[in-house]
C-alpha cells in the first residue's frame, strides 16, 4: 500500500486526475483485499468524485474507468454487508452498461454474490448454470470464493455434470 500512497502524492503534485482515479481504485482494492471495506469505499468514492469533473468526460476511456469504479463500489458494499448501497451501484451499472453486463463474467459474479446475500438463490442458481454452459462454471465458483472470502463459493459447487449443490 505504501507504493500506492507514494504514487498518490506524486499524482496530486502533478494534478493528474486520470492517474489519481486509477490510484484511488488501486488503493481501494488493496484495502478491500485486507478486509477494510470502509477504507476501500472511501477511496472508491474519491475516484468517483474525480470522474464527475467535466474534463474527465473527455477521456477516451472514461466509460471503462467509471465502470470499474462502480464495480468496485458494488463489490465493497456487498462484502461489508451494505446490500442496499451495493444494489444501488449494480443498478447504475446495469442501466449504463447494458452490453457489458450481458457478456462480462465479473459483473455476473458480483451480481450473483449480492443476490445470494439478498436471498435470491433462484437467480444465482440459474446464472451459475448459464455460466457452466459458457464453459466457465467451475471457475465461477472458485472465483466467487476467492473474491468474497469463500462466503458464496463455499455454498455452491458444480459437479462435472453441471449439477449445482447448495449447502
Model-level pTM? 0.74
Q: What pLDDT does residue 154 have?
A: 38
Residue 27 backbone phi and psi in degrees, to 5: -65, -45
Q: What pLDDT does residue 1 have?
A: 67
- Helices 105-117 and 121-133, packing angle to 10 deg: 160
Judged against a pLDDT cut of 90, whether residue 51 lies above it is answered with yes
Quick check: helix, strand or coil at residue 158?
strand
Judged against a pLDDT cut of 90, whether residue 164 lies above it is answered with no
Cα distance between residue 83 and residue 113, in whole Å: 10
| Average pLDDT rounded to a whole number, residues 150-160 | 40
User: What confidence tier does 47 reach under pLDDT thresholds 50, 70, 90?
Assistant: very high
Judged against a pLDDT cut of 70, whether residue 163 lies above it is answered with no
- Computed over every residue of the chain, the mean pLDDT equals 78
Better-predicted residue by pLDDT, 69 or 138: 69
| Average pLDDT rounded to a whole number, residues 42-61 | 93
User: What confidence tier does 124 reach under pLDDT thresholds 50, 70, 90?
Assistant: confident
**Strand-pair partners of 164:** 158
| Average pLDDT rounded to a whole number, residues 33-58 | 94
Report which listed range, 30-44, 106-120, 134-148, is most confident.
Answer: 30-44
Amino acid at each position: 500500500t505504501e507504493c500506492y500512497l507514494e504514487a498518490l502524492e506524486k499524482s496530486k503534485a502533478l494534478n493528474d486526475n486520470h492517474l489519481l482515479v486509477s490510484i484511488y481504485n488501486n488503493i481501494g482494492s488493496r484495502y478491500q483485499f485486507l478486509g477494510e471495506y470502509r477504507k476501500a469505499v472511501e477511496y472508491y468514492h474519491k475516484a468517483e468524485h474525480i470522474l464527475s469533473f467535466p474534463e474527465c468526460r473527455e477521456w477516451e476511456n472514461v466509460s471503462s474507468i467509471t465502470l470499474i469504479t462502480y464495480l468496485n463500489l458494488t463489490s465493497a458494499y456487498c462484502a461489508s454487508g451494505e446490500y442496499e448501497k451495493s444494489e444501488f451501484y449494480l443498478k447504475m451499472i446495469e442501466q449504463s452498461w447494458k452490453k457489458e453486463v450481458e457478456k462480462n463474467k465479473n459483473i455476473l459474479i458480483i451480481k450473483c454474490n449480492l443476490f445470494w446475500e439478498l436471498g435470491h438463490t433462484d437467480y444465482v442458481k440459474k446464472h451459475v448454470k448459464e455460466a457452466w454452459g459458457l464453459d466457465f462454471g467451475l471457475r465461477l465458483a472458485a472465483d466467487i470464493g476467492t473474491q468474497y472470502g469463500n462466503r458464496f463459493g463455499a455454498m455452491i459447487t458444480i459437479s462435472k455434470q453441471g449439477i449445482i449443490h447448495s449447502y
